[in-house]
Chains A and B, each alone.
Chain A
Amino acid sequence: MRRLLIAAAAIAAAPLAPAAAQDVAITNAKLVIGTGDGPVEGGTVVIRGGRVIAAGQGVAVPAGMDTVDAGGKWVTPGIFAGFTRLGIVEISGVGQTNDTAAGDSPFHAAIDVTPAVNPRTSSLALNRAEGLTRAVVAPDTGSAMFAGQGAIIDLGADMDAVTVPRAFQFMEYGEAGSREAGGSRPAAYAFLRTALMEAQDYARSPRSFADRGPDAFLTRLDAAALAPVVQGKVPLMVHVERGSDILVILGLREEFPRLKLVLVGATEGWTVASQIAAAGVPVIAKPLADLPDSFESLAATQSNIGRMLAAGVTVAIGTIGSDESHQARWVKQYAGNLVGLARIPGASGLEWGQAFAAITSGPAEALGMAGQFGSLRPGRHGDVVIWDGDPLEIGTNAVAVYIDGVAQPLETRQQLLRDRYLSPPDDQLPNAYRR
C-alpha cells in the first residue's frame, strides 16, 4: 500500500504536459478483450506508441519493451463510461463550478463542452482510480432542446483531456424536451424539424445564412453546429424514454435520412426493440431503471437491456439519471447487476462478457468509434487496467491504470481524507497537520 502511494505521488509530481505515447507490455494476464468475451488465462497486451498492437494468448513481447507481469490478475480495457458529465462539474450545487447547462445563454446547439473540461476536476481522479479511462461527456439542456456538442475525454492525469471534441450533438426529447420547447411534444417536434431544416439551409450555403441575432430561432453558430448533424457527419444523441417517442425519433430519418442517431436512456426501449434494431440505431441505456418514475417510463424493467440485446440492438451503459458528474464508477456495479439478473427466473439478464462490453466497447461502438476505443483489439488507444479481481464485482480494486499506455496515479482526495481520519486525534497537533 505504502509503496503504491509513493509511486503515485512520484507520477503526480511529473510535469503535466500532454502524455507522450508510451510502450509497455503486460504479460501473465487473465485477459479480457472487451468485445463480449470472458477472461482467458495467460494473456498478453502489447502497447506501442500509445496504441494496442496485440492482445491475446501466445502474443510475443517485442524485444526491449518495458514489461509488467500481471501475476495472473485480471487485465481488461479501461472502463469507457457511456454517458457522463465528468470534468465539467466540481460540485453540482455550486453554480460557479457547474458548466453542464446555460439556461440564460442565447446559444444551444452551438455550445461545446470542450473549453469547460478541467482535467483537475476531483471526480476525474476518483473515477480514474476506479479503472475508468474514457468517458462520453455531454452538456445538459438549458433553454432549448439542444444541449450542445459533447466530447470524448480521457481521464489521464495531464492537462490534455479531450480526445474527440464535438463528437456528437446531445438533445432532450420526451418530457424534458417538451418542457424546453414550450410545453408539448408536438411543439418539441416542430422545433426539432425546423432546427434541422435550417441546419440544412446552412449546410447548403453557409454564407447566405445570416446571423439573425440573439432572439433568432437558431444563431449562426447553432446552425453551424447542426449542419454536420443533418449531413450525418456528427451523431445526434437523443435522450428519449417512452416507446412511442423512440419511434418518433427513429421516424425523423424519413425527412432527414442522413441523421446518425444514438438513443440515450430508452427505458421503454424493449417495447419497440425490433424497430430500434431494424433501424440500426444504437442505444446508450439507463441500466437498472425499474420504476415508473415518470409517465414516459411506465414500462420500466431491469430486463430492458437484456431484451434489447436479444432483439439485436447495440446497447451500451451510461450513468443517465444517476450522478453523471461524479459517479461514472457506478457503471461497473450496474453491469454486474445485469449479470446477477440473469439468475432471476423470467428475467433477461446479461452474460458477463456482454455486460463488460456494455461499459467498454459498447459506448465506443454506439458513437461509431469502436476502431479507436473500448477494447484491446489492435489499433485502439492503449487504455488498460489491471484489477485484483473480477472488475464487475464489489470490492475489486484497480491496481494499475494505463491511459494511452501511460501509467496513471491512483491517489484521490477521498483517500487523503480517509488517511487523515483513520485514527482518532492524538492531541499533539490538530488533524490539519496530518498529511
Chain B
Amino acid sequence: MTIAIGAAATLMACTPDSGGTQSAGSSAATPGKGGESYSRDPYPSTYHRYPGVPTLVTNVTILDGEGGRIENGSILFRDGEIAEVGTDIAAGPGVTVIDGTGKYVTPGIIDVHSHLGDYPSPGIGALSDGNEATSPTTPEVWAEHSVWPQDPGFSRALANGGVTTLQILPGSANLMGGRSVTIKNVYARTVQGMKFPDAPYGLKMACGENPKRVYGSRGRMPSTRMGNIAVDRETWARAQEYDRKWDKYEEEGGDSPPSRDIAMDTLRGVLDGEILVHNHCYRADEMAIVMDMAKEFGYHVSAFHHAVEAYKIADLLEANDTCAAVWADWWGFKMEAYDETDANLAILEHQGACGLIHSDDANGIQRLNQEVAKARAAGLRAGIAISEEQAWTWAAINPARVLGIADKTGSLRPGKMADIVLWNGNPFSVYTRPQMVWIDGALMYDMNDPSRRPVSDFELGQPGGGSFN
C-alpha cells in the first residue's frame, strides 16, 4: 500500500519539466506517445566543478591509468580537463608550474565499493543507513537517499587515499539491496551536490551467505543458496513482465500508463542496460550461477565485488565480459572468504580477465594504492611479472569501466576530467602519500597547505577538530 501511494506521488511529480532533464530523450518525451514517460533522474546531480588554475606538473613519473608509463613526464590541465600528457610540454602564459621531481602522477583512485555516507563515522545506530534489511529484495531503495554528506570519511579518502570518485552502495543483507550512487569526492551540503554528472546508476545485488543468514534466521526465504537464486529468479521474471508492459506503453501509448512500481523501475533499468549490476559474490561456483542467471533474464553483471575466488574462474569472467572487484588480502572472516590467495588480481591479469581493487571499508579506502601494491607484489612472488603501470589500471580505468564512466575519468587522457593525484613518492611504497589532489582540475587537497583540506560539519569544534594526520 505504501509503495502504491509513493508511486502515485512520484508519477504526479513527473512531468518532463520537473525531473529527468538530464536523461536523454526525457525532455522531448510525451507520456504514452513514445520515449520516457517517467523521470529516470528525479534527483539530478547539482555537482559543479570548482575553479582551478591552468596547471603544468613537470618531471614526474606518470602512470596513466590505462597501462601507460612516462618517465620524466609532464601533464597540463586547464578548465577542469586534461589538456596534454607527454614529456616536453610548454607552460604557456598564466600556467602554474609544479616541479614534481622524484614524484609520481596518477589518475585519482576510483573505489567502486564504498559505504561512506550510508555507514558513516561515527558508526552508531542513528546513522546506520546502509541495509534496508526488511525484505530479501529491495531494489526500490536508493543509496543516495541514505548518504550523509558530512561523513568525515570522505576527507580521509581524499587526503590519505587520493580517491577522487567512489560508488556508494547499499549493504549486502539483501539479494537486491537497492541502487548505488556514484559521487565525486567533493564535500557538498546535499548528496545531489556530490553526484557524478551523468554516471549510470548501479544495482547492488548479493549472493551467498549474507542474504541466507539474514532472512533464514528470521524463518523466511531465502535460508539457503538455492533459496537465494529462487527469489532472484522470481523477481527477475516479474521485472521482465513489468519491462514489457512499460516498453509497450512507451512505444505505442495507450489510455493509461501501467502501474508504477519503484522496485521494478530499477530492475527495468537493469534489463534495459541503463543500470549496471554490482554483485557481492565470493565463491567461484556461485559467480558462475549468477552469470547464467544473468543470461537467462537478459542482463549483464558489470562486476562481482569481494570476489575472493575470482582467480578460480578467470576464463569464465573473461568470456562473460565481467570484472572482479577484490581486496588484496582479506580472508577468513567467513566461510566464503576462506579460499583466499593474495595473488587473486595477479592471476586474473595473467589470464586476461578484468580485475580491480576495492575497499568496502572506511579505513581501507585510505590506502588503496598500497592494496594495489600488495596485489602486485603477490603476483611477482608467484612469478607473474606485472608492471606498476599495469597494476594501476586496477585502481583507475578498470573501476571507471565498471561504473560506466570510463569516457570521463579513470585515465590521464586529454579531454577527460582532470582527476589527478601527485604522490610524494612512488605510490607502490608504504612510505608514500598524496601530496596534491585535483578533482576536475580544482585543487582539493594539498599536504603543504592546511587550508586545502576539508573538515566536515560533524568535526567542527570537536576534540581534534578533524585534524587526522
Interface positions of A (Cβ within 8 A of B): 1, 89-94, 122-123, 243, 268, 271, 288, 290-295, 298-303, 323, 325-327, 333, 336-337, 339-341, 343-347, 392-395, 397, 414-415, 417-419, 421-425, 431
Residue of B156, B347, B370, B433 near A394 (CB, 8 A) is: B370
Known contacts A292-B459, A421-B312; decide if A301 and B431 are in contact (CB<8 Å).
no
Known contacts A291-B121, A337-B430, A344-B469; decide if A326 and B314 are in contact (CB<8 Å).
no
Q: B152 near A: Cβ within 8 Å?
A: yes
**A397/B381 in contact, CB under 8 A:** yes
Alpha-carbon separation in the docked complex, A415 to B339 (Å): 10
Which chain B residue lies CB-closest to A89? B332
Among A268, A291, A343, residue most surrounded by chain B Cβ atoms (within 10 Å): A291
Alpha-carbon separation in the docked complex, A324 to B247 (Å): 52
A111 to chain B, nearest CB (A): 22
Question: Chain A residues near B351 (CB, 8 Å)?
Answer: 423-424
Question: Chain B residues near A421 (CB, 8 Å)?
Answer: 311-312, 314, 341, 347
Which chain B residue lies CB-closest to A395? B377
Which chain A residue lies CB-closest to B369? A394
**B464/A395 in contact, CB under 8 A:** no
Among A288, A394, A418, A431, residue most surrounded by chain B Cβ atoms (within 10 Å): A394
Residue of A93, A288, A295, A300 near B333 (CB, 8 A) is: A93
Question: Chain B residues near A424 (CB, 8 Å)?
Answer: 314-315, 351
Known contacts A422-B382, A425-B315; decide if A345 and B152 are in contact (CB<8 Å).
no
Which chain B residue lies CB-closest to A94? B335
Among A292, A336, A417, A425, residue most surrounded by chain B Cβ atoms (within 10 Å): A292
Which chain B residue lies CB-closest to A394? B373
Question: Chain B residues near A291 (CB, 8 Å)?
Answer: 121, 152-153, 156, 362-363, 468
- Could you list some 20 contacts between A and B, CB below 8 A? A89-B332, A91-B332, A268-B464, A291-B362, A292-B121, A293-B362, A294-B122, A294-B123, A302-B468, A302-B469, A343-B433, A346-B469, A394-B374, A394-B428, A414-B340, A418-B342, A418-B382, A422-B382, A423-B351, A431-B312
Which chain A residue lies CB-closest to B424? A343
Which chain A residue lies CB-closest to B334? A93
Question: Chain B residues near A1 (CB, 8 Å)?
Answer: 383
Known contacts A394-B370, A394-B428, A414-B342; decide if A323 and B332 are in contact (CB<8 Å).
yes
Which chain A residue lies CB-closest to B447? A344
**B373/A299 in contact, CB under 8 A:** no
Alpha-carbon separation in the docked complex, A90 to B343 (Å): 21
Encoded as 1 (CB less than 8 Å from any A CB) or 0, chain B from 15 to 54 comes to 0000000000000000000000000000000000000000
Question: Chain A residues near B366 (CB, 8 Å)?
Answer: 288, 290
Q: B338 near A: Cβ within 8 Å?
A: yes
Question: Chain A residues near B331 (CB, 8 Å)?
Answer: 326, 414
Encoded as 1 (CB less than 8 Å from any A CB) or 0, chain B from 341 to 353 comes to 1110001001100
Question: Chain A residues near B381 (CB, 8 Å)?
Answer: 397
Alpha-carbon separation in the docked complex, A337 to B364 (Å): 13
B381 to chain A, nearest CB (A): 6
Q: B93 near A: Cβ within 8 Å?
A: no
Alpha-carbon separation in the docked complex, A419 to B468 (Å): 41
Alpha-carbon separation in the docked complex, A339 to B430 (Å): 9
B376 to chain A, nearest CB (A): 7
Alpha-carbon separation in the docked complex, A425 to B312 (Å): 9
